[in-house]
Chains A and B, each alone.
Chain A
Amino acid sequence: MLLSAHGVSFTIPAGWEGEISQERGPQALALAERGAHLRPVAHAATFALPAERGAFGSGAVEAMRDDDVFLALVEYDRGATDTALFARRGLPRRLDPRRFHPAALQRTLPGQAGHQEFFTDTGRAFCLYVVLGDADDAHLQVRRVEEVLAGIRIGSGP
């Protein structure tokens, strides 16, 4: 299954589903009315993604089971590419399971672990955010995430 929108494309492997959209929360829409552009957001998950959810998975991660995984790719303003936070070049294709921790979760839920990576790719600033359903099974679940990462392509932008 190939998804492509807003200068990002995903080849979704078996067992996953996904969506590439623009952030449409109340705050984002209010900013957009003042001229800001809506941030592209890509989600992939091994479970049914609810229609309404936050850019970092709020409203979705609550539905995760132990063997589920959630991934978010959120774009930031182009100006952020010059900052130290986004100094890393290129989307990370491999992740270190030891860096996943419950304290890194945007929404802390029992048993889960999260991890964030900020990077610049093709002149665009992104945050990759991953939630594992079972912190004790990080090595196996991170390998599943890497299958999705291998199929992500970032273009120069919409």
Chain B
Amino acid sequence: MTGVVAALVVVVLLLSVLVAGLLRSHATILRRLHELGADHHPDPGVPVPDRAVPRTDGRIPSPRSDLPDGRPAVDVAGTGPGGEAIGVRVVDVAHDTVLVFLSSGCSVCTGFWAELADPRLPDGTRLVVVTRGPKEESPSAVRELAPPGVTVIMSTPAWQDLAVPGSPFVTLVDGPSGRIVGEGTAASWNQVRDLYLRAEGDAPTGGKAGADRRRERELDRLLLASGLAPGDHSLYAPADGEDAGRDGPIR
């Protein structure tokens, strides 16, 4: 009996050492994860960044945290269907650009060409149609399909630089950052626009949200140029009725 008890005590002691070792190992792992910034429960009161930003050891600058996700876009240069030389600035501009990659031969593109005559994009968003270059597309066919009032550029390098897989394909570029914030395809332009308009509500930059932000900045600039600084009393006009009678009632 004594032998059995002694054996159990030894087993319990061994298990206790094993559990203690596991707890110590677990604590070490958690500490390392904490040092790497992988907290599941950040301290309350500590500001949480909007998006994960790679950390550096301090010897090189950290990446900008205000850039939207997405790979960099490039400016588009090529020829127009009428033989024009065209260069369109897409990167580092105030407006967003929707690049619609189409061809004259694809059946799905036919609907796009027609629908783009009335693209109904948000203010502050530019539409540019890009086909492959004149060696791969017929300029006269593109000229016939080109919707009036829409910039059309024939440029195979643009397809290659922006890794366009085929037509139709749509790429949305956030102008200020020069990043591609949305891309894909659909059966019709209206579907693309619906997807785009829905996505832009989720995105912190670009699209309608970006346009709204730019309009706000422009209004701020105009107000400041007019001598109206934040807090100016003229920005806080009395509510309706309080000042009634100053200029007489309007009847």
**Residues of A with Cβ closer than 8 Å to B?**
1-5, 10, 12, 14-22, 24, 48-52, 65
Contacts and interface: CB of A to CB of B under 8 A. Distances in A.
List 3 tightest A-B contacts by C-beta distance, closest first.
A21-B84, A5-B85, A17-B89
Contacts of A21: 80, 82-86
Given A14-B92, A24-B82, A52 B87 contact: no
7 contacts: A1-B75, A5-B79, A5-B84, A18-B86, A18-B87, A19-B86, A22-B82
Interface residues of B, number: 22
Given A1-B75, A1-B77, A48-B126, A19 B85 contact: yes
A65 B217 CA distance: 13
Interface stretch (B37-45, B58-66, B133-141, B143-151): B143-151
A19 B87 contact: yes
B87 to A, nearest CB: 4
Where chain B touches its partner, the secondary structure class is: loop
A5 B83 contact: yes
B199 interface: no
B89 A19 contact: no
Contacts of B149: 50-52
B45 to A, nearest CB: 42
B219 interface: no
Contacts of A65: 218
A33 to B, nearest CB: 16
A48 B148 contact: no
Interface string B147-168: 0111110000000000000000
B85 A4 contact: yes
A12 B152 CA distance: 19
Contacts of A15: 89, 92
Given A1-B75, A48-B126, A16 B86 contact: no
B30 interface: no
Contacts of A4: 85
B77 A3 contact: yes
B211 to A, nearest CB: 13
A108 to B, nearest CB: 20
B93 interface: yes
A34 B196 CA distance: 47
B220 to A, nearest CB: 14
A20 B89 contact: no
Contacts of A5: 79, 83-85
B115 to A, nearest CB: 17
A106 to B, nearest CB: 21
A5 B84 CA distance: 7
B95 interface: yes
